[in-house]
Amino acid sequence: MEKAVNTSDVVKGVLAIVIASFLWGTTGTAAQFAPEISPLAIGAFAMGIGGVLLCVSARKSLVKDAPILFSTPLTFLFGSACVAIYPLAFYSSMRLSGVAIGTVVSIASAPLFAALLEYFLSKKPVSLKWFISFVFGAFGIGMLSMGKAHDAMALSASKDDQVFGVLLGLIAGLTYAGYSWSAKQHIDAGANSKSAMAGLFGCAAVALLPSLWFTGQNLFANTTHISVSLYMAVVPMFLGYLLFGYGLRTTEASKATLITLIEPLVATLFAIFLIGEVFKPLGWGGMTLVCLCLLIQSIRLPFAVKRYGKKATA
């Protein structure tokens, strides 16, 4: 039985996910200021330290909710493994295929994977509202990708790197959807949103942080590297996932990952205004469609549309 939530809480949840997506959209641009840092190191440090900070901030509720988290150990371990794999795949994808393509593939594939997980594991049907939003978002992301295709290809060392980067992006999308789904299961079971995110990220940090012994030699090589590393860990990871966990209290994982399609949009805008990348009209059209996708998820549709999707979670 689903919990009843009021409209105000739903709006706050959506807004929290939008803000989190905005913060995540800054990661690609931030990473460009420290290209000497291994993508494995930046991913492990950002997610690992972010996980530690989440555990510290949620220590009281984490102890209280530990029985809930461990009552479904397979779900907990699955989510934690997804958290550990995601940053390694995501940042490696951006390094191999370019920031634009890596971000687009990783984030754009997540809503589809999330919907499949909810359908097959949680037995939740896909709503018409979600499907309409996904169509707009998918076309928008595709146009956004083509709008930056030439710049991204220039960043790619070879065609093989491009293909491997896309495959890693798909893995990132799957694991992103995986830990979002897992966190949502724990929240629905009664765990505090901070506890759910902190538990998964804290467990993943146990695996991620030791890997820095082999990959993290350049993390603190100079002031720029230190600033980038700390920013990635504290702002997009710690604050971003606090907001994302809050949003998951009233938002299904499939809808939440769909809303985060704003991330590549933000990443693109930062690349244009801060890095100076030039955009084709097709890309601007893609941005418009992504905004439309977000708008559809943020407002109530007319009665006719709601009627078709009322048995599903919008």
- The answer to whether residue 131 scores a pLDDT higher than 50 is yes
Region 214-224 average pLDDT: 87
Domain count, the chain: 1
Region 127-154 average pLDDT: 70
**Structure confidence at residue 147 (pLDDT):** 67
Q: Is residue 314 part of a domain?
A: no
Give the structural domain span for 32.
7-309
**Structure confidence at residue 158 (pLDDT):** 57
- The answer to whether residue 145 scores a pLDDT higher than 80 is no
Q: Is residue 85 part of a domain?
A: yes
Q: Is residue 26 part of a domain?
A: yes
Q: Is residue 268 part of a domain?
A: yes
Q: Between residues 295 and 71, which one has the greater pLDDT?
A: 71
Region 209-214 average pLDDT: 92
Q: pLDDT tens-digit profile of 265-285? A: 787 778 777 766 666 788 788
Region 23-36 average pLDDT: 84
Q: Between residues 298 and 131, which one has the greater pLDDT?
A: 131
- The answer to whether residue 304 scores a pLDDT higher than 60 is no
**Structure confidence at residue 80 (pLDDT):** 96
Banded model confidence at residue 141, pLDDT cuts 50, 70, 90: confident
With vertex at residue 105, the alpha carbon angle to CA 52 and CA 86, rounded to the nearest 5 degrees, is: 20
**Structure confidence at residue 37 (pLDDT):** 87
Q: Is residue 72 part of a domain?
A: yes
Region 24-49 average pLDDT: 87
Q: Is residue 1 part of a domain?
A: no
* pTM of the complete model beyond 0.85: no
Q: pLDDT tens-digit profile of 50-71? A: 999 999 999 999 999 999 999 9
Q: Is residue 110 part of a domain?
A: yes
Banded model confidence at residue 159, pLDDT cuts 50, 70, 90: low
Whether the Cβ atoms of residue 192 and residue 58 lie closer than 8 Å to each other: yes
- The answer to whether residue 310 scores a pLDDT higher than 70 is no
Banded model confidence at residue 309, pLDDT cuts 50, 70, 90: very low
Q: What is the mean pLDDT of the chain?
A: 82
Q: pLDDT tens-digit profile of 174-207? A: 999 999 999 999 999 999 988 999 999 999 999 9
- The answer to whether residue 101 scores a pLDDT higher than 90 is no
